[in-house]
Structure 1
Amino acid sequence: MNQPLLDHATRTMAVGSKSFDTAAKLFDADTRRSALMLYAWCRHCDDVIDDQTLGFNIGTASATNAQERLASLEAQTRQAYAGEPMEAPAFAAFQEVALKHGIPPRRAFEHLEGFAMDVRDEHYTTFEDTLRYCYHVAGVVGLMMAQVMGVRDEKVLDRACDLGLAFQLTNIARDIVEDANAGRCYLPSNWLAEEALTMKTLNDPTCRPQVARLAERLVSEAEPYYASAKGGLCGLTLRSAWAIATAHGVYRRIGLKVRRAGAHARDKRQSTSKQEKLALLIKGSALALSSRVTTPAPRPPGLWQRPA
């Protein structure tokens, strides 16, 4: 075992995603290692594109440099799949996971396409467009994580993708103003028009009621995806189901806090306390156990369907 590589991935998770870190501790040792390694790569790619370190210290790199950084990520990903020695810890970690679990190159490049959408400064006209972005940055991560957990059933993979979509919709709802300050907007432009908003007015304090309504709308749209995701727990081992059920509860709680905070949600970045995480961990164990003895509900009709 490459312990330094695992240590790097563990630190990356602990700093980069406190919401998922608690849940990841519930995996068995082998699954946890692979999940951490995969997360380290995803976090690294995100940081490289944004010129950050673990989501902090925003740089001032130009769009041209961002295009060069994206091209470098794509080249290193191809090298990882080719089995070449990888110097960057995040890519060494990804290489181990991708080759061990047979993650298709298509999935990795679908994820990189999400960063390419940011580099191209894509705008989203409809909610369908926003969901397409959510798929690339989070839904496909759900697919890769599920594969790490041994999932091969396409119906269970659909539920894993749904959970990724729900997570990302929650993130967008929480970070509307923060994203606007960084020059990004993932909200559909037709939603903005309904509220008489533009990207330039999203961070205007006088527009908080309209922004709150948009955030609430996103949280509501995430709900059927969270509901669908529960149906995939039966396709996981008990420990993996416990971990995913806990992550499900933590992220959903953040969304509900955004909804309850309303126009005041921008005053403090919404998160869950240690006590809340503990309660959700216990609740997750009950949900995982119940998935052993109950038949999952059918996937709700009308949900966005991942590419075949």
Structure 2
Amino acid sequence: MTPDRAQLVEHARQSIAHGSKSFAMASKLFDPATRDRAWLLYAWCRGCDDLADGQEMGHGMQIVADPAARLATIRARTALALAGQPSGDPAFDGFGLVARECGIPAAVAEDLIEGFALDAAGWRPQTEQDLYQYCYHVAGTVGVMMAIVMGVSPDDEATLDRACDLGLAFQLANIARDVREDHDAGRRYLPLDWLKELKIPESELFAPPYRKRLASLGARLAERSAAYEASARVGAAALPFRSAWAVLAAAGIYGDIAREVSRRGTTAWDTRVATSKTAKLGWVVKSWWQARRPKKGLPRPPGLWTRPRR
């Protein structure tokens, strides 16, 4: 039997509280109905991620022995949830609920799952465009779905492009922060072209002779993240005030991760980069003012990667 809505929301609240303090704080800025739906969407994304990577609440990523079976479980539970059938997992049941309430297209959910399929297949980006394609699957899709949760029409391509940009900004920041963690888990999200350009052997990313070159790639990821963050900030003008406030706060909080990686240079991966509670609260205040004075009318930069159209 599927839990009732209140139980699903409570499970989702606990998921975000344990899985991401940054998103948990930003989500409190939403109006209550949007907040609950954002939690339900987050819990599904977290549930998929934990299944795929053998994690618990986003922590302890490891090399799993059965990636194909885990992917099949994600697909099966998602299909049941979208069909309105009990999946046996409250994270997936909650996603089915929010998808029906908000009209989230199944195709976008399928695009997210394709990101897990890439990881399950041992995929590695060869080019910068490959990197953006991957970021779309695992995070840009989340931005699109979150915008729909906030009331954006699934047909409003321009606003959804900006929402996708925020997902790309977040994922690029994640990749910059987690280069060592990914390397230790047998993954590599730095484009092979970039490594060849700087003559960094893939198997020796953290060898002392290449540390300065690797730091320059951390700064490059931060620069790319900032470009997508700037685009997303313009898109926030299309949202209701409280949703814009939450989005801008999240953009600042997560943007600080990429900026800190760049600032640390060669020491960026000695300890995990995190945003302090004080800094998070600072962004809550700053983003309130930013949401009251939205950036409007600025065209989306033509050089940015654009999500595929369905």
Fold shared per TM-score above 0.5 = yes
Paired with 1:198 and 1:139, the residues of 2 have a C-alpha distance of 29
Residue pairs, 1:123-162, within 5 angstroms:
123-152=124-153, 153-162=156-165
**What residue number does 1:71 align with?**
72
The answer to whether the 8 Å contact 1:9/1:36 transfers is yes
Paired with 1:76 and 1:104, the residues of 2 have a C-alpha distance of 16
Change in CA separation of 1:288 and 1:178 when aligned onto 2, cut-off 3 Å:
same
Q: Does 1:175 align with 2:178?
A: yes
Which residue, 5, 11, 14 being the options, matches 1:11?
Answer: 14
Residue pairs, 1:1-308, within 5 angstroms:
2-59=5-62, 61-62=64-65, 65-152=66-153, 153-291=156-294, 294-308=295-309
Paired with 2:80 and 2:48, the residues of 1 have a C-alpha distance of 15
- Once the two structures are TM-superposed, the CA of residue 2 in structure 1 deviates from its matched residue by 2.8
Amino acid at match of 1:6: V
Change in CA separation of 1:45 and 1:142 when aligned onto 2, cut-off 3 Å:
same
The answer to whether the 8 Å contact 1:47/1:53 transfers is yes
Change in CA separation of 1:176 and 1:231 when aligned onto 2, cut-off 3 Å:
same
- Once the two structures are TM-superposed, the CA of residue 58 in structure 1 deviates from its matched residue by 4.2
CA deviation string 1:32-63 (max 9, x = no partner)? 1010010000011011011111123445531x
Amino acid at match of 1:227: A
Paired with 2:226 and 2:56, the residues of 1 have a C-alpha distance of 31
The answer to whether the 8 Å contact 1:138/1:165 transfers is yes
The answer to whether the 8 Å contact 2:84/2:97 transfers is no
Find the residue that maps to 2:58 and give its secondary structure. coil
Amino acid at match of 1:104: P
Paired with 1:102 and 1:166, the residues of 2 have a C-alpha distance of 25
TM-score by length of 1: 0.95
Change in CA separation of 1:155 and 1:209 when aligned onto 2, cut-off 3 Å:
same
> Which stretch of the first structure deviates more once superposed, 265-274 or 50-59?
50-59
Paired with 2:25 and 2:201, the residues of 1 have a C-alpha distance of 37
Paired with 2:107 and 2:304, the residues of 1 have a C-alpha distance of 23
TM-score by length of 2: 0.95
Paired with 2:202 and 2:57, the residues of 1 have a C-alpha distance of 25
- Once the two structures are TM-superposed, the CA of residue 232 in structure 1 deviates from its matched residue by 0.9
Amino acid at match of 2:85: E
Paired with 1:143 and 1:121, the residues of 2 have a C-alpha distance of 26
CA deviation string 1:157-215 (max 9, x = no partner)? 11000110011111101111111011001111010112222332123355321221110
> Which stretch of the first structure deviates more once superposed, 10-19 or 202-211?
202-211
CA deviation string 1:278-303 (max 9, x = no partner)? 11111101111001xx5231101111
Find the residue that maps to 1:121 and give its secondary structure. coil
- Once the two structures are TM-superposed, the CA of residue 69 in structure 1 deviates from its matched residue by 1.2
Amino acid at match of 2:241: L
The answer to whether the 8 Å contact 2:52/2:116 transfers is yes
Q: Which runs of 5+ in 1 are unaligned?
A: none
Paired with 1:211 and 1:12, the residues of 2 have a C-alpha distance of 34
Identity of aligned residues (%): 48
Paired with 1:59 and 1:134, the residues of 2 have a C-alpha distance of 20
Find the residue that maps to 1:168 and give its secondary structure. helix
CA deviation string 1:66-119 (max 9, x = no partner)? 101101211111111211123201111111111111111101110000000000
Change in CA separation of 1:56 and 1:205 when aligned onto 2, cut-off 3 Å:
farther
Residue-pair matches, total: 304
- Once the two structures are TM-superposed, the CA of residue 275 in structure 1 deviates from its matched residue by 0.9
The answer to whether the 8 Å contact 1:180/1:203 transfers is no
Paired with 2:16 and 2:187, the residues of 1 have a C-alpha distance of 24
Change in CA separation of 1:12 and 1:199 when aligned onto 2, cut-off 3 Å:
farther
The answer to whether the 8 Å contact 2:139/2:171 transfers is yes
Change in CA separation of 1:127 and 1:58 when aligned onto 2, cut-off 3 Å:
closer
Paired with 1:267 and 1:250, the residues of 2 have a C-alpha distance of 21
Change in CA separation of 1:149 and 1:111 when aligned onto 2, cut-off 3 Å:
same
Find the residue that maps to 1:61 and give its secondary structure. coil
Paired with 2:222 and 2:64, the residues of 1 have a C-alpha distance of 32
